[in-house]
Structure 1
C-alpha cells in the first residue's frame, strides 16, 4: 500500500477524493482574506508573493488577479500539474517541499488554511519557518494562517457524515499525542477507502517558541479572516504575521 511508504498527506492530498470532500470550501471568504491581508501588509504593486502549499492554486490565481506576481508551490505533483494550465507571465507553479528554501525572495510568503503542522518529524516545522525566512526579501512578511487549536479542540465534532457527489464521507475526530486526528472512511466505485489527517495541535505559544528558534519576529496576530483581534477561546483562526 502506498500509504505505508510515504507520509500520509502525500497520498491523501494527491487523491481525487480529497478534492471532492473539500470542494465546497468558501471561495468568497478566502478572497476577502486575501484582500484584507495584502492591503494590511501593503504588498507593493506587482509585488512578488510565494504561496506555500498552494494545492490546485485557487488562492494563487486570485492573488494574481489582484496584480501580484505569484509563485504557487506544493508537494502534490497532481495538484501542480492541474494548476500549471493557468500559468501566465506573472503566475507560476512548481512542485516543492516547503521545508526547504525555494531559492528566490519575495515580498510576502503565505502559508494559508492550516497547511502547516502535518509533518511526522517535528524538526520539519522549524525548518519550514526557517525556509520562509530565507524566502523573504528585506521588506518581506511571512504569514501563517493556522487553526486556533484551543477553539477547535473545545468544539470538536467527534463524528459526522458529509455527502458530496454521492459519496458518504464518514469523518471521525479525536485528539491524541498532541495531534488532532481526523479519520475519513468512504466507499467509492465499490471500493472501501480510509484516510487519516494528522495535524499538530500547535498553539500560539508553540509558534512563539518556533519563531524564536528560527530567528523571526512575530509582529501581529489575528483571530479571523477579517483581521479581528485574536482571542484564545473564541477565535476560529490563528493568523500570524512575522518577519
Structure 2
C-alpha cells in the first residue's frame, strides 16, 4: 500500500485543514513536559515528525539545539524559512536511522506515529529512537487513546476553509482509524486518506520495553493528568534508555 502520509502531508490542503491548531496550548504542553523530564538546558533534542517546526521552535526556548526531522520535504522547507536560533531541520523517514547516541531526548508529539502498514515498521521506528538516544536519554511520546476514539468517532464532517470545501469521513477498519478527506477546489476533486493504527497503552508499553526502554511515566492528557484507559484522550509516555 502507498504511504498515504507522503502524499497528504506534502499538500497545501493538509496545512490549510489543520491550521487551527492552538499555539498557546502547544506551548503549555511542552512547558509541562520539559519541567517533567528535567534534562539539561544544553541538551540536544530531536523533534521526530516535526512538521513545519512549531514544536521545535518552542523546544528551542528550553534546550541548546533542536533538530527537527520530517518525511515531508515541503514542511521542512517551510520550517527552514521560519528557522529560529538553536534549530535545524532535515528530511527524514523515521523508519531509517538518524544516528547513534546523538541526543539527550526525542519528542514525538500529537499522534505522529501509527502510520505504517506493519507492526515491524513501528518497531523499527522505536529501535531508531532508542539508538539515537545517549545512555540515560528520554523519549517523550504522545499518541491518541483508542478507547474513546472507538466510542466517540464522528462519522462525517463538512468544512469550508478559504473557499475550499473538505468533506471528511471517519471509520474504523482493520484496527485503524481511517479518515477520508475529499477536497473540492475550484471544480476539481481530490481525495486523500489518513490511516492511524489504534495502539493501546498496554501494547505501546510492551513495544517500548521490547526495544529496551524503561517506562518512567504514563499520562492521559496534555495537562499530564493520570491516565485512565476508558476516558483519557491521550497516551503520553515518558520512557528512558538505561
- Tell me the TM-score range normalised by the shorter chain: over 0.9
Provide the C-alpha distance between the structure 2 equivalents of 1:86 and 1:172, rounded to a whole number of angstroms: 33
Residue 179 of structure 2, aligned match among 168, 177, 182: 182
Q: Counterpart of 2:121?
A: 124
Q: Counterpart of 1:42?
A: 38
Count of residue pairs brought into register by the alignment: 239
Q: Counterpart of 2:57?
A: 61
For the 8 Å contact 2:34–2:62, the answer to whether it is kept is no
TM-aligned CA deviation for residue 67 of structure 1: 4.2
| Residues 1:212 and 2:209 aligned together | yes
Residue 81 of structure 1, aligned match among 55, 72, 77: 77
1:55-97 Cα distance to aligned partner (Å, 9 max, x none): 0111101111334410000000111111112335521000011
1:103-126 Cα distance to aligned partner (Å, 9 max, x none): 152111001000000012321100
TM-score, scaled relative to structure 1: 0.94
Which stretch of the first structure deviates more once superposed, 202-211 or 108-117? 202-211
Q: Counterpart of 1:102?
A: 98
TM-score, scaled relative to structure 2: 0.94
Q: Counterpart of 1:195?
A: 192
TM-aligned CA deviation for residue 36 of structure 1: 0.3
Matched residue SS, 1:126: helix
Q: Counterpart of 1:146?
A: 143
Provide the C-alpha distance between the structure 2 equivalents of 1:153 and 1:68, rounded to a whole number of angstroms: 40
Provide the C-alpha distance between the structure 2 equivalents of 1:216 and 1:123, rounded to a whole number of angstroms: 17
1:4-55 Cα distance to aligned partner (Å, 9 max, x none): 7x41110000011000000001111111111000110012112211000000
TM-aligned CA deviation for residue 131 of structure 1: 0.8
The CA RMSD measured in Å over matched residues stands at 1.4
Q: Which consecutive residues of structure 2, in runs of 5 or more, have no partner in the other structure?
A: none
Q: Which consecutive residues of structure 1, in runs of 5 or more, have no partner in the other structure?
A: none
